[in-house]
Chains A and B, each alone.
Chain A
Amino acid sequence: MTLVRTAAAAALLAFAPAAPAGDPIKVGALLAITGPASFLGAPEARTLAMVAEELNARGGVGGRRLELVVKDTGGSPEKAVSLARQLIEEEQVFAIIGPSTSGETLAVKSLAEEEGTLLLSLAAAEVIVNPVTPHVFKVAPQDRFAAEMIFRRMKAAGITRIGFLSSNTGFGKAGKEQVEKLAPGYGIELAVSEVYDKAATDLTAEVTKLRAAGVQAILNWSTEPAQAIVIKNARQMGMTVPIFQSHGFANVQYAAAAGAAADGVIFPASRLVVADSLPASDPQKAVLESYKKAYEARYREEVSTFGGHAWDALMILARAIEQGGADPARARSAIERIQGFVGTAGVFHFSPTDHNGLGLDAFELIAVKRGRFVPLGP
């Protein structure tokens, strides 16, 4: 036993630290590449790898090579904290991109602030940047805007009684908070509000409960494949009421998974998923098409908004370094001065009091038509 320990100690000594960070800029990433949130983390990791390569091929950031250090948190907040410590103290990264989920971000947030490390979260919850803390930023659009877009549509359609389903994750919980807060303002009553397990494979019982309550529409808020199952269960049961989803639905494989049942589903998302249908005058079109083409060619799968967040985060960081300088403190204030940055999630306008930079206009209401996403229009 002592032998094992001595051997370990010897190994520690053998791996003495290399020379301190010189030329390359080290950017750390905490992503849920495996585990229950892998549909978020895996496309994010692929996007980061692709973007880092592109940037380096163009001469790096501010003349210096970009070095990505990616850690897989498996969606676990404790691991995220431990790996964040590692990135900050051992790898001495310039900034951290991620984590992928709201739960992990909240766990890492205070650590990042304590250590004064720049954190660009890819998660959705409002509370990440509300109240604002100096070093924590978020590039995913705010949940409340998604909820508002949906409610506006419902109100226009005269819907007053809905059934609300959400998953027991940080994303689902944050969405539930916003939905419960905003619904009354649009004259909408949540007749039923149920939270289901993220690994649920069947929601027939829950949908039956909605049917029993006579709701006029169904709103589902999650990022898991359960989104597709809700749709199938509802249609098979003969429920013809409109189905709304959150921006977690913004990956066309979910529409494919629900097949014919997904026709007519409405959800808010960034314009990335309907890039082809955008008019040439749209300010985001060029950026969206170039990202979409590059990602789909390289990885042979459809783009999702989750991967898009990673693109936004790294490009914003690169822009901040180029404009503010390769010093973490200067890069931080440079982000706060970024205005009009065209990203995949929308056009960003940061400020010292707004660490998200996106508004209601980042979202577009999208409908599913025969397995494809099409913009719904007003």
Chain B
Amino acid sequence: MTLELFLQYLVAGLTYGSVYAVVAIGFNIVYNASGVINFAQGEFVMLGGMTAASLSRVLPLPLAVAGAVAATAAVGALVELAFVRWLTRPSLLRLVVITIGVAILLREAALAVWGEGVRSLPYFSGTEVSAFALGGVRVSPQVLWVLGTTAATVALLGLFFGHTMLGWEMRACAANRDAAALCGIPTRRLLTLSFALAAAIGALAGCVVSPLSYTSYSMGEGLAVKGFTVAILGGLGNSSGAVAAGLVLGVLESLSVSLWPTAYKDVVALTALLGILSLRPSGLFGSREASRLREPA
């Protein structure tokens, strides 16, 4: 394999890896705030893309994206208010089941609103055929948008959680909900906020990747599985771990196509995951204590 080909595979892997990473970050934000694995995260990505595609017919692109992100954030908040909050005696199984149920409902609602057809956003810059050379590799400008958006999201989240009052409050909730409540932190509101934030991030990812592929009502399920895989691989709750794991998974999948039939792409990736989990049960970068503390009874 020439260097150029290798780079081509690498870039393809990094592009999709970063999408997986963003979905996983969404999982992590909610998990950190509540111990809930929100399987509806994949649907938030879908909703972002679909809403933006509809809005882009009447609004200029940046406004359409902003609108989609805001609308999906609202849906995220609604999901928490309407479903998660009412759950009595939440156990791992119940939480998994209810978020799966919500994911299914969101998907069916999307089908009812938008139909089964596929949509995509126009390219943020350039067209379907434009590409520029990046060290011998030809890459669509949209790929840079994807990578850039992921990097910006991770950086901004880092700033938010590291240096703002609200971010600190959310971290306090995550560390010990009762203690935080005793300190006067509005834990219930912050939980809603965490859902909204995760939804917004997912929606943004959905918008930025839509021109490269397409958006349709059923794309959420596959993304949720990938996002969950990456979140576990990177250590549940660890967002930088998620980014690393996402990129690793994306590149692994991409390179495996060069060696094995595409049909076994998932088999390779998931067997690797099983191998890693048996050696390091809390994922590549997770910590044992942290994961044990957070598991709901």
A interface residues, Cβ below 8 angstroms from B: 34-36, 38-39, 42, 168, 194-197, 199, 201-202, 204-206, 208-209, 211-212, 225, 228-229, 231-232, 235-238, 253, 257-262, 301
Contact = CB atoms under 8 A, between A and B. Distances in A.
B104 to A, nearest CB: 12
B86 to A, nearest CB: 26
Given A39-B117, A205-B254, 15 more contacts: A34-B111, A35-B218, A38-B116, A194-B262, A196-B263, A197-B262, A197-B265, A197-B266, A199-B222, A208-B12, A208-B258, A211-B5, A228-B118, A236-B131, A253-B118
A205 B257 contact: yes
A208 B8 contact: yes
Contact of A225 (B111, B129, B216, B222): B216
B131 A34 contact: no
Contact of A205 (B9, B117, B130): B9
Interface of B: 1, 5, 8-9, 11-13, 15-16, 111, 115-118, 120, 127-131, 138-140, 212-214, 216, 218-219, 222, 253-255, 257-258, 261-263, 265-266
Contacts of B129: 235-236, 259-261
B12 A257 contact: no
Contacts of B139: 236
Contacts of B117: 39, 253, 301
B116 A39 contact: yes
B214 A260 contact: no
Contacts of B257: 194, 205-206, 208-209
Contacts of A196: 262-263
A38 B117 CA distance: 8
B20 to A, nearest CB: 11
Interface centre among B8, B140, B255 (most CB of A within 10 A): B8
Contact of B128 (A168, A194, A202, A236): A236
Contact of B258 (A36, A195, A205, A237): A205
Contacts of A212: 1, 5, 258
Given A204-B12, A225-B118, A258-B128, A36 B261 contact: no
Nearest to A33: B116
A94 to B, nearest CB: 29
B254 A237 contact: no
